[in-house]
Chains A and B, each alone.
Chain A
Amino acid sequence: MDAILVQILNGLDKGAAYALIALGLTLVFGTLGVVNFAHGAIFMIGAFCAVTLNRLLTLSTKVRDESITLFEAFKEVPILTTKFPTIGPIIVDYSVPLAILVAIPIMWGLGLLMERGLIRHFYKRPHADQILVTFGLAIIIQEIVKHYYGANPIPQAAPAAFSGSLNIGALFGLGDNIVYPWWRLIYLSFSLFIISAVFAFLQFTTFGMVVRAGMQDREMVGMLGINIERRFSLVFGLAAVVAGLAGVMYTPILPPDYHMGMDFLVLSFVVVVVGGMGSLGGAVAAGFLLGILQSFASMTQVKAIIPGIDQIIIYLVAVVVLLVLPRGLLGRKGVMED
């Protein structure tokens, strides 16, 4: 019982990442009708926003190491901590949450740039072309990041205050075995917050209303005199921000490297398809569902029964869902059925 609960918890934060990426993918697909294979790369850029900010904050100078008296020893000390001894270390410590503030404008700008510069010209092209051009873009982004940051994963630390674990078992009187790292809990709540914010934005604002109408019937909205293309390019920016933030916050859980985007992209596409192309709720639900299933499948007891199941569970679920429910869990009629 404890083990099952732990697995559910572990699955939730992975599922949260899938859900955030899949949400952006679905938004772009539902509004623009574009299959964006570069979305994983956007997630990766978000993660590297955190890395970059951390590097900038910890730009160091050499300072004489006073603890070693035998010979002249130097150690690297971030300039920030020497200049501002009280606030400096705190800022460095909180570099990952602070990166959110940096990432929002960067991702927004990048999203708009991508849409205006490239995606816009592919609205009327076949899906195969969209897949291919964004796939090429993803390769380029990956390689540029690899050129500047190297191929190795770069670990990022969560703020020291959140480095421990929360003993959920003791909290609810279920035994001491159920612990959950604070940062994962924060990631989960952060994702839930972002997801609700996106849904609220689409549900309760005029802009969101237009976007939803556009997802239903683009032509009709255009005929009503609304410049739908302009709104849609903002939607692309929004999707980029969501994916970017997912990447920023995920860095303490998974050290980012240049191909993390591709790894997540393939899975997120499966998530989108399982959830149902063009269904936002479906994408979120499928994200969490697959995250939890994946962490169940990696339990040793399960692996003992079906060896290798942890490697294929997501794809297996995708195959079964697509064959049994052709539109995915919550897919709408008439989306991608040409």
Chain B
Amino acid sequence: MNKSAISDWVLFFGFAAAILTMPVWLAPFGANYPDLMQKFAIFGVFAIGFNILFGLTGYLSFGHAAFLGVGSYTVVWSYKLLTMNIIPGIIFAVIVSGIFAFLIGYVSLRRSGIYFSILTLAFAQMSYNLAYSVLTPITNGETGLQLTLSDPRILDSMAGVAVTNSVPNPSVFGIKTSGLPGFYICAVVLIIGFFIALRITRSPFGMMLKAIKSNQTRMAYTGFNTRPYLLWAFVISGMYAGLAGGLLAVTDPLAGAERMQWTASGEVVLMTILGGVGTLVGPVIGAVVIKYFENIFSSFNKSELHQVFAALPDGLENVVVSVTSMFVGKGWHLTLGLMFMIVVIFLPGGIMEGVRRVGRLFGIGKPKTLKPASVATTEQGQANG
């Protein structure tokens, strides 16, 4: 086993341990309740998948939320028609969103750059608008798709699950998937997803994707047809998004069209950027940070702010509170926008880049000078490309 393979395993086990011990180390931050941790894991999956496309190939999709929505709808339909067991639903979600991604990717990948972004945005907006209007029989329009008592649930009734007077909860072999067990399900999926992403990144296929990002024309000249690789990357990242959407429906069995809106697509872009594009752990960190801040900031209100700044003199306190109140509660998107800009302006590599810089400051991490000059320049080229 060579050195990089060992460091990969270290990375993987470190990651798995960090995710599984979340309930412990998130406690000091007041973020260790299951609903929030579920979101961390789910959006981590979403962001990892998005990074396989954007981070490796450089193709910026603005329509990934469509796959998230498709995944959610699929799982809820599987609850309604087949069984409350989540496993068939999750499998279907991945398959259906994969097919969906194949169709959209096949068309969108004919173009690159901003045209690709606009095409994916167009497809996602189309799906969103249709889900709201014509497809109401499938999506239940504005209300969102919900479970009802009269659902057939064929497999469940064949297995002789007793029909009760309340809507059943989604479960996996008898364990309810809400609360802490729900978090562990999402966490396991996230860890598996991370492992697959790690293998993809290190595989020849991943190298091919990185080569496409660095110079597609050169790839074409060396005789590679880049489109199948891109299409596979697109489908895989669409499957990840569908999986994340499915998990959303696992922890909370409903699906709404707003999950497909382009702001949701923008959110996953932000998570990836914030964490660090092209890095393995970065997108997950980005997802955790954004969901954490969303939760913390949006729950603050004015009276709490007054408590926080109570030490200040009264006049100053009022000024400070009125300024900060713009950034919290309903105005939390303002903080989000600000974070977005600051990261893009000052730290284009995201949090991972920041960590690396701090590490270099203290002399930890690989010093650049040890690398042969040619390798260093190609990496530079990749970073710019």
Residue ranges of A at the interface with B (Cβ–Cβ < 8 Å) = 35, 118, 121, 125-129, 131-133, 135-140, 142-144, 146-147, 262, 266, 269-270, 273, 277, 307-308, 311-312, 315-316, 318-319, 322-323, 326, 336-338
A139–B117 CB distance below 8 A: no
> A135-B266, A137-B337 known; A308 and B344 CB under 8 Å?
no
Q: Can you spell out 8 A-B residue pairs with CB atoms less than 8 angstroms apart?
A: A132-B344, A136-B341, A137-B337, A266-B262, A269-B118, A308-B134, A311-B130, A319-B107
Q: How far is the CB of A323 from chain B (nearest CB, A)?
A: 6
Q: Which of these binds chain A: B76-84, B120-128, B150-158, B183-191?
A: B120-128
In the complex, A318→B82 CA distance in Å? Answer: 38
Inter-subunit contact A322/B337 (CB<8 Å): no
Distance between Cα atoms of A277 and B123 in the complex (Å): 19
Residues of A close to B114: CB separation below 8 A: 35, 127, 131, 273, 277, 336
Q: B118–A136 contact, CB under 8 A?
A: no
Is B360 part of the binding interface, using a Cβ–Cβ cutoff of 8 Å?
Answer: no
* Assembly CA distance A132 to B271 (angstroms): 12
List chain B residues, Cβ under 8 A from A312: 125-126, 129-130
Binding site for A on B (CB under 8 A): 58, 60, 107, 110-111, 113-115, 117-119, 121-123, 125-126, 129-130, 132-135, 262-263, 266, 269-270, 273, 326, 330-331, 333-334, 336-341, 344-345, 348, 384
Q: Is the interface of B mostly helix, strand, loop or mixed?
A: helix
* List of A residues within 8 angstroms of B129 by Cβ: 308, 311-312
Which of B134, B262, B263 contacts A311 (CB under 8 A)? B134
A143 and B110 within 8 A (CB): no
A-B interface pairs (CB < 8 A), number: 111
How far does the alpha carbon of A273 sit from the alpha carbon of B122 in the complex, in Å?
A: 11
Q: Is the CB of A318 within 8 A of B119?
A: yes
B337 touches A139 (CB 8 A): yes
Give CA–CA (A252, B115) in the complex, Å.
34
Extra inter-chain contacts (11) besides given A135-B340, A273-B114, CB under 8 Å: A131-B117, A133-B341, A135-B266, A137-B341, A139-B333, A140-B338, A144-B334, A311-B130, A312-B130, A319-B123, A338-B113
Which residue of chain B is the closest to A148 with respect to CB atoms? B326
Determine if B334 and A308 form an interchain contact, defined as CB atoms under 8 angstroms apart: no
A311, B266: Cβ atoms closer than 8 Å: no
Q: Complex formed: what's the CA distance from A126 to B214 in Å?
A: 13
Contacts of B133 in A (CB 8 A): 308, 311
Q: Which residues of A contact B115 (CB under 8 A)?
A: 273, 322, 326, 336
Given the complex, which residues of A lie within 8 Å of B126, measured CB to CB? 311-312, 315-316
Q: Would B118 and A308 count as touching, CB distance under 8 A?
A: no
Q: Which residues of B contact A307 (CB under 8 A)?
A: 134
B125 near A266: Cβ-Cβ < 8 Å: yes
Q: A140 and B334: CB pair below 8 A?
A: yes
Measured between C-beta atoms, what is the minimum distance from B57 to chain A in Å?
A: 12
User: How many angstroms between the C-alpha atoms of A144 and B118 in the bound complex?
Assistant: 27
Q: Are A336 and B341 in contact (CB under 8 A)?
A: no
Cβ contact of B341, chosen from A125, A127, A140, A338, cutoff 8 A: A140
- The docked-state distance in angstroms from the alpha carbon of A138 to that of B270 is 14
Which 6 pairs of residues, A with B, have the shortest CB-CB distance?
A308-B134, A139-B337, A136-B340, A311-B129, A143-B334, A315-B122
Nearest CB in chain A to that of B345: its residue: A133
Partner among A135, A147, A311 whose Cβ is within 8 Å of the Cβ of B132: A311
- Beta-carbon contact of B130 and A319 below 8 Å: no
- How many whole Å from A268's CB to the nearest CB in chain B? 11
In the bound assembly, the distance between CA atoms of A140 and B331 in angstroms comes to 10
